Amino acid sequence: MAVAIKTKATKKEVATKKVATPKTTKTVKTKQPAKVVKKAQSSVYKSDKKVVLLTGATSGMGLEILKDLALKPYVVLAVGRDPAACKQAMDSIDKKELKANIIFCLADLSVMSQVNNLAQDIKQKLEKINLKHIDVIYFNAAQFTPEISHTYERHEVQWATNYLSVVLLTDLLLPNLKLSTGARIITVTNNPTKHQKLDFTQIQNAKDPVKMYNYSKLACLMFAMQFNEEYKDTNICAYSVYPGFVNSRLGALQTKGIKGFFAKLKLKKATNIIDAIQTSLYLICAPHLPAKVVLYYNYRPIMPPSYALSPFNRQRLWRATRSVLGLSVK
């Protein structure tokens, strides 16, 4: 600031120097310091922005959440698999009301090598806008496949997309989360009232696609609960949300055979997407949340299923998952 004031005060003096000594006046440049000051001010302003990472942002609940976040002065890192779908998602946002800085990232979350690349891409994109922190990660991406299939890395597709990618990407972005004043990780689970248990034999030798989907969503809840135990001394809290049975494209995939007939009947009573995302938006945007409450439904905290409440079950899943992914165990 002092340099800028001196420049204005000595304009006439510089002009006279041009007449007397033309060679020396060429070295007198006052615009560069002003630019440096301006850049520093804009950098501080950008670092105050809330940074939200949203997976599965190109359809269903993820797209509607993206449209809502677009109206807020956030930096939104939106993850999708298909470049065309990402473009279509961006085109669906009203540019007149756009306030967020939306940055798309590409990755197939069923492939762990791509999850690794995604983490690096996210860090590089943040550095380009002079940011490093992440305030919220909302893991919306999910797959339901009518048949069991595996990736070339030998992971069952639903288990990898819906759960393994959550664990790996969280671990890779922990340094960025720790830079936030109060970071949040949010996973999506299924109906917590079901008396469901993880069958590790079934997970290793997957045969039933519906069971694998349900296992993956229960595991997401258990991950959030155990994360809070493992990282209780940090500024990061994990939450899980049950949006209800949602009338989305994912639910429509279950419409085959006799099960499909009943699924279609159930879809008629399903929650519409706009209503389903409201609790998720609350968890993303609320200034403060209770640290000890993990599972939410319809804005209210609810009790996790008994299987997830067991520390032994959660620790077993935690250790097994990190072993599969090659991550260290605390």
Give pLDDT tens digits for 239-281.
Answer: 999 998 776 655 545 545 555 555 565 556 667 889 999 999 9
What pLDDT digit, counting tens, does each position of 84-108 carry?
A: 999 999 999 989 999 999 999 999 9
Contacts 24+ apart (CB under 8 A), 108-111: 108/81, 109/55, 109/79, 109/81, 109/141, 109/160, 109/161, 109/165, 109/169, 110/143, 110/151, 110/155, 110/157, 110/160, 110/161, 110/165, 111/151, 111/152, 111/153, 111/160
CA distances to 61, 107, 197, 251 from 148, rounded to whole Å, are 24, 21, 19, 17
Q: What's the confidence (pLDDT) of residue 219?
A: 97
What pLDDT digit, counting tens, does each position of 57-76 carry?
A: 999 999 999 999 999 999 99
Please give the Cα distance from 79 to 140 (Å, whole number).
10
Please give the Cα distance from 159 to 178 (Å, whole number).
27
What pLDDT digit, counting tens, does each position of 279-302 carry?
A: 999 999 999 998 778 999 999 999
Domain residue ranges of the chain, discontinuous segments joined by +: 2-38, 52-325
pTM over 0.85: no
CATH 3.40.50.720 assigned to 52-325: yes
Task: Work out the number of other CB atoms within 10 angstroms of the CB of residue 18.
Answer: 12
Percentage above 70 pLDDT, the chain: 78
Does residue 53 or residue 193 have the better pLDDT? 53
Strand, coil or helix: what is 2? helix
Burial class, 326, CB count within 10 angstroms (exposed 0-12 / middle 13-18 / buried 19+):
exposed
- At 28, the pLDDT band (50, 70, 90 cuts) reads very low
Sequential DSSP letters for 311-327: HHHHHHHHHHHHHHHT-
Please give the Cα distance from 115 to 51 (Å, whole number).
19
Q: Is the pLDDT of residue 125 over 90?
A: yes
Q: Is the pLDDT of residue 126 over 50?
A: yes
pLDDT-wise least confident of 9-18, 144-153, 234-243, 277-286? 9-18
Instruction: For the chain, report the end-to-end CA distance as a whole number of angstroms.
Output: 49
- Which of 59, 99, 96 has its CA nearest to residue 78? 59
Quick check: 211 and 164 in contact, CB under 8 A? no
- Which of 104, 101, 108, 87 has its CA nearest to residue 155? 108
* Sequence-distant (≥ 6) Cβ neighbours of residue 290 within 8 angstroms: 301
